[in-house]
Structure 1
Amino acid sequence: MLSPTQPYAAVEAISYEPWLAKQVVVSVLRLDQFFPQLSGNKYFKLKHNLSHAQAQGYSRVISFGGAYSNHIHALAYAAQQYGMQALGIIRGDHGYAANPTLSDAQAWGMQLQFVSRSEYKRRAEPEYVRSLQQQYPDAWVIPEGGSNALAVQGCAEIAEHIRQGLGDNFDTVLLPCGTGATLAGVAMGLPPSKQVLGVAVLKGEGYLEAEVQRYLAQVANNSHAKWQICHDYHGGGYAKCDVALARFINNFPIALEPVYSGKLFFALDAMINSAAIAPGSRIVLIHTGGMQGLRGMQAIMDKRLAAAD
């Protein structure tokens, strides 16, 4: 079973002078510290998936990810805790098997199957998923990123972590948005008086909005927070990192990585400086973890900074 060492994640006030000067009150929900092995929000995405799989008699879980996937890393650990087998279908060739992310996953007992990019693109096709279920009848197949209705149900619990730290003393919650499942869950867990803003970390305009609407239709009634997605800070696409983002991360007082949390904090900084976030606003940032992925991105960041100097 998955057992965090504390009942709720910490909520910390951020004393960052450029934001204080603009009179914006910013707090951070430290999911990155709540259950580090599961990359922050991955605990919430996986807990109901694994409990459901076990209750249905499955002894194996299968999912998908890239060579530095936070989801694959977290799933390997979680499956081990549940005493289940795990198979990770990895985009790319076997040469990635020795990287830190996949080395951890294998140490936790996950088997890896490397596939071509063309095969990986089929990961959400019903026919492809059925073929996996036929090949592994003992397996529960979890979508890429862990994102499904069970994940949204788990992510709705994040709202209670915010309330435990701040009560009702916040207006807007910001979080990075990769698949839309965490955003949908947080929106579901908060009342209509609150606003949730997702910062897209990939080029997914239109698609991400449709995904959030689909998740909410599956699991929610009409009483949820207002939400929207900002598409201005993906930096060129998923896992892309330019010089400005790398510099911001290096100079920020909290440890960030460039795929998710870095883009979130960078986006808030830009919105405060442009007055898109008004003085007096009370903001909560959700640090969704994923710091293990920095092991695959640090060299890229260093290269960007060295070339700019």
Structure 2
Amino acid sequence: MTFSIVIPTKNRPKELLRLFIAIINQTRPPDQVIIVDQSNPKNVIKKTIISKASKVNLELNYLHNEKINGLVQAKDYSISYNQCDYISFFDDDILIEKDYFLFIERAFKSFPGMIGANGVITNMPKKNGFKSFIFKLTHFGIFKDNRPKTIRSLNLDSDNPKNVNVLSGGLSTWKKQVFEKVNFDTKNKFHSYEDIEFSIRVEKIFPGAMFIIPKARLSHHHASLNRQSLLLRTQNDVIEVWMLFKKNKNFNLLGLDFLILILGLFFNSIFLNFRYRNLKFIKKFFSGFILGLNKNIIRK
């Protein structure tokens, strides 16, 4: 059983180095690390990373390519370089605990039917009961995401993984066989809903095979660089809900799942408008609605 780690990164050398040091200090180190670096030349730390990898005899592929456009394309680009049985994808601003891969490996050995897994983010902001209720109310049908409920119910000392219907892409580990059946969607450029979009297609082929591993823990430090502003995300979330609905064409609920989530995003834009005293949030909602309505889905 061998493991590779893919780290897409862009102009975050400090975060990349911090994560890489945590990786080489694992009690169960990976067998291969693939770094897909989209940085401008002054932020490339290839020599430093190669030096540290050579000291621990780690198989390293450091791929610097500024032409790669975005996270999804970087992940897709990495697949052909993978030499291992399992592939992990890590955002560059996370930090894994020392035994992370030890517990990931144990879980895959103990539960061979598992096709993909997440660890547990230890510094996740707590949602109040009202926000959790609204999330559950607005995310059903094709938008269903049981991660929040599952994470709240976890026993962090348990060796038993918990089933989820969506995995977080930036801290995910997959059997390589997944990518023989499911490809990353590099055409439509999902961002906020990329996790759900990819998981929907995995779930159709490998039902009930995605899990959260309670003892595999990490922290996410949300670097501000390369992150969408709240204003832009207000618009893009609406666009991507349209895209996800169009791509899946699930009318079992007569589009009610789509309508309720869109309505939820509208009320959220009103809330943000009053919170920040900025009418642009409502304007961004409506511009996102029009752009999403007119957007064509590219099918492979």
- Output the TM-score relative to the length of structure 1: 0.28
Q: TM-score w.r.t. structure 2 length? A: 0.28
